[in-house]
Amino acid sequence: MTVLIGPAGSREMAFASIESGADEVYVGLLHWSLRSPCFEMGINQLRQVNDYAMSRGVAMRVALNTYPWEDDLLEFDREIARLRDIGISSFILADIGSIYSMHKDYPDVFIQASVAADVRNMDDVRAFEVAGADSVTLLRPAPGFVRKVKQETGMKVEVFAYGYLNYTYRARCYISSYLRHAYTSGPSSREQASGSFNREGFCNRACKCHWTITDGHPEVEGVTMNSYPFVTIADLIELLRAGIDGLKIQGRENSIDVVTEAIRLYRQILDGYRQDPAGFTIPEVTAESAYRIDRIRHREMKSRSAVMIREMLGVTPDASNRVQRNR
């Protein structure tokens, strides 16, 4: 059975995801989940969401999918211990060293290799399985790839309902920190490294800037490093038949309206498929809704990117200094 996994960029979004039909929700732990702190949660909020989710029979998983640095390891271990203390047993990690370490310390927990783990082929899947991951997140995989993972490994597979194929591979991009990188003391004991996507998720979105290709004289102006939005809807039936275990709705940074609409739509699809796997087709009107939701989401992301670029250029204050409202 394919579960529907909804985002929880805030407590309100978590509740809305659950009410809209998500089987699971994912939450980013404050400072550890590749998002701005205002889309993450501290332990107290996280506990409230977990309690609510449990009362509704919904599972929760927590993302700590930054690439921790050496100085972070002690704090990383403490955070994991705290999360275990409040009953969290499902995690999203990207760094294979962290996965390996967590699996050794807590062999019973469920570990999802994040999309930021950049799993691109069967060898990657096997490497993460050996390290202790239970599941991988694949970005727009071919159904054959999913089938092969299911047949040849013990790994679960999750895919995104929609998202972006960025110009650069997710965790293999240091352009942002090359251009602007600063350490700031945040409210946590952990020093924040704004600009480093892998460490903080504070990507400056340099790929969305208007670059000029030049050989000394401008040759082409207004060049952006294009990312390609995708909606899985056209391939979804094949992916379901291939045996995907989870369908993930992106959107911790999006508005609650967009997220809830997306969850309701994909809930309908998964329920329809479950009733008649052989005969189910996605109605055209449903596909159109999926594309419309993605367009709205795309607009929201563009305006967020504009904010990040202004911050990089020093036009507006750095996001890393914002009040941590979710603590």
Partner 1 sequence: MRSIMQQDFRLATEVATIKRLKDLDFTVFNRVYLGNPFCLDFRENLLAVDNLSEAIRLVNDAGACPIVSLVAMPANDQLPLIDELIEVGLAAGTGGFEAHSVGVLHRLSERKDVYGLTIVAGGFSNIYTRRTAILYAEKGATLLVPNYELPWEAIESITAANPGPLEILIHGKIPLGLSDSCLLVERSDDLGTKCPDSCLSDLWLEFHKWSLKSFGKLTSSGKDLCLLPEMPFFWAKSIRNFRIAGVAEKPETLNEVGQVYRDVLESLQKSTAVPAYIPEQVRMASRYGLCNGYLYGRSGCDWVEQHLQAT
Residues 165, 229: Cα–Cα separation, whole Å: 6
Q: Is 295 in the site for partner 1 (CB under 8 A)?
A: no
Token representation of residue 10: 């805030």
Q: Is 43 in the site for partner 1 (CB under 8 A)?
A: no
Q: Is 70 in the site for partner 1 (CB under 8 A)?
A: yes
Q: Is 100 in the site for partner 1 (CB under 8 A)?
A: yes
Shortest spacing between CB 221 and partner 1, in angstroms: 9
Measured in whole angstroms, the distance separating CA 165 from the mean position of its chain's CA atoms is: 13
Q: Is 184 in the site for partner 1 (CB under 8 A)?
A: no
| Residue 260 contacts residue 247 (beta carbons within 8 Å) | no
Sign of the Cα torsion 103, 108, 109, 113 reads positive
Q: Which residue lies nearer to partner 1 by CB, 41 or 131?
A: 131
Task: State the pairing for strand pair 182-185/3-8.
Answer: unpaired
Measured in whole angstroms, the distance separating CA 147 from the mean position of its chain's CA atoms is: 23
Please list the residues that pair with 136 across neighbouring strands: 113, 157
Q: Which residue lies nearer to partner 1 by CB, 100 or 280?
A: 100
Shortest spacing between CB 4 and partner 1, in angstroms: 27
Q: Mask 224-263, x = binds partner 1 (CB under 8 A)?
A: -xx-------------------------------------
Among 3, 38, 209, 296, binds partner 1 (CB under 8 A): 209
Q: Which residue lies nearer to partner 1 by CB, 3 or 307?
A: 307
Cα torsion through 326, 66, 202, 166, rounded to 10:
-120
Measured in whole angstroms, the distance separating CA 153 from the mean position of its chain's CA atoms is: 23
Among 179, 288, 295, 299, binds partner 1 (CB under 8 A): 179
Going from the C-alpha of 12 to that of each of 25, 38, 55, 269, the distances in angstroms are: 12, 13, 16, 24
Q: Which residue lies nearer to partner 1 by CB, 86 or 223?
A: 223
Q: Is 277 in the site for partner 1 (CB under 8 A)?
A: no
Residues 134, 154: Cα–Cα separation, whole Å: 8
Q: Is 174 in the site for partner 1 (CB under 8 A)?
A: yes
Residues 137, 158: Cα–Cα separation, whole Å: 5
Residue numbers at the binding site for partner 1 (CB under 8 A): 67-73, 95-98, 100-101, 118-128, 130-131, 145, 148, 165, 167-169, 171-175, 177-183, 195-196, 198-199, 206, 209-216, 219-220, 223, 225-226, 313
